[in-house]
Amino acid sequence: MSEIRQDPTTGDWILVAPRRVSRPWQPSDFCPFDPGAPETGYGWDALILPNRYPVVAPDAPEVEPDPFYARLRAYGRALVVVETPEHGLDDISDLPEAQIRRVLGLVAEEMAKAASDPAIAYFLFFRNKGREIGVSLTHPHSQIYELPVVPARVARELERSKSYYEERGRCLHCDIISAESKSKRVVASWPRWIAFVPFYARWPHEVHLYPTRHVQLFTELGEEELDELAAALKLVLCGLNKALGKPMPYMMVLHQAPLRGGPYPHYHLHFEIYGMYRPDGKLKYAASAETGANIYTLDTTPEDAAERIRAGVEICSASRLGHA
């Protein structure tokens, strides 16, 4: 019964996957990602597993075309990136940089494989953290969807950055980096990466992490860029977890160019990280205005959020120096 449908009014894609309801909900007695579990075995630092409750799959059934609507076969891969054998860590930022680097390397390898499958149009790498936002398994992990379609939010970014590029001959995202780097919203920076709360943050503690080099695909990042990315992710996510004095539930998603239909010289990959606590430590809900109209209410300012996250980053830097 699974298939992919498109909303003709917005262009959004919907992964219809009714089997998923039977998936385990925060089981407390058994973790499928621990070493020695049926799918993991022993002797690994990090590994990529097929999601047992996939929204897309290589053996997805063929679908009948609809006379009016766009309906596609749910072909693809839904994968889990188990980031460590250690079950009890709160966040990927609790891992050593070298281990985060290993995880990033695994993801890049998987992406190179996906790129060789002509039916995969998009490689979506993301991470959900915190029971408050519905995470069903707490063992540190991120996820990959290898999809036959380009997610609508990325498609819109591509359209808009293309218009900008055609009109002004410059990359919109490079211009954003330039504007942000001069602002009070910078959270941390490195020679090859910059992290800031964007002027246009939608969520109360939102950080965007950009490579300063104009790069479109994750697999185009060099060794040094990946090394520094591991350090940047560790520091930014640690800072987010320290910003309010308690661990922050967050969503993280890699926005990059599609694997097909390129080149995309107007695009620039980046990570978007949405910390979901308001400044008072209460969860921000997306209700009708956000969900039904894409109009967002921010109960803080991006400038104040940056200040809180920078304070968190300083705590993390200091404790790291203390360990050295």
Please give the residues from 129 up to 158 whose contact with a second copy meets the rule CB under 8 A. Answer: 133-135, 143, 145, 147, 149, 151-154, 156-157
Q: How far is the CB of 257 from a second copy (least distance, A)?
A: 13
Contact pick of 185, 242, 255, 266 for a second copy (by CB under 8 A): 255
Contact pick of 141, 278, 308, 310 for a second copy (by CB under 8 A): 278
Asked if 295 touches a second copy (CB under 8 A), the answer is yes
- Footprint of a second copy on 23-52 (CB under 8 A): 25
Which residues face 47 on adjacent strands?
82
Considering beta carbons, is residue 6 or 212 the nearer one to a second copy? 6
Single out the segment in contact with a second copy by CB under 8 A; choices: 96-104, 160-168, 212-220, 315-323: 160-168
**CA gap 197, 190 in Å, rounded:** 16
**CA gap 322, 324 in Å, rounded:** 6
Q: Distance of CA 136 to CAs 127, 220, 281, Å?
A: 12, 32, 21
**CA gap 39, 34 in Å, rounded:** 9
Asked if 181 touches a second copy (CB under 8 A), the answer is no
Asked if 9 touches a second copy (CB under 8 A), the answer is yes
Q: How far is the CB of 255 from a second copy (least distance, A)?
A: 8
**CA gap 286, 295 in Å, rounded:** 10
Contact pick of 64, 65, 191, 287 for a second copy (by CB under 8 A): 287
**CA gap 174, 169 in Å, rounded:** 11
Could you tell me if 199 and 185 are in contact, meaning their C-beta atoms sit under 8 angstroms apart?
yes
- Footprint of a second copy on 197-226 (CB under 8 A): 198-202
Single out the segment in contact with a second copy by CB under 8 A; choices: 13-21, 113-121, 187-195, 310-318: 13-21
**CA gap 81, 103 in Å, rounded:** 8
Asked if 116 touches a second copy (CB under 8 A), the answer is no
- Footprint of a second copy on 58-87 (CB under 8 A): 66, 68-69
Asked if 285 touches a second copy (CB under 8 A), the answer is yes
Could you tell me if 196 and 183 are in contact, meaning their C-beta atoms sit under 8 angstroms apart?
yes
Asked if 5 touches a second copy (CB under 8 A), the answer is yes
Single out the segment in contact with a second copy by CB under 8 A; choices: 19-27, 111-119, 235-243, 313-321: 19-27
Q: Which helix (H) or strand (E) holds 229?
A: helix 223-242
Long-range CB pairs of 219-225, under 8 A, 24+ apart, other chains included: 219/108, 219/111, 219/112, 219/115, 221/108, 224/192, 225/192, 225/193
**Size of residue set near a second copy by CB under 8 A:** 81
Q: Helix, strand or coil for residue 290?
A: helix
Single out the segment in contact with a second copy by CB under 8 A; choices: 20-28, 36-44, 97-105, 188-196: 20-28
Contact pick of 48, 55, 171, 240 for a second copy (by CB under 8 A): 55
Q: Which helix (H) or strand (E) holds 50?
A: strand 47-50
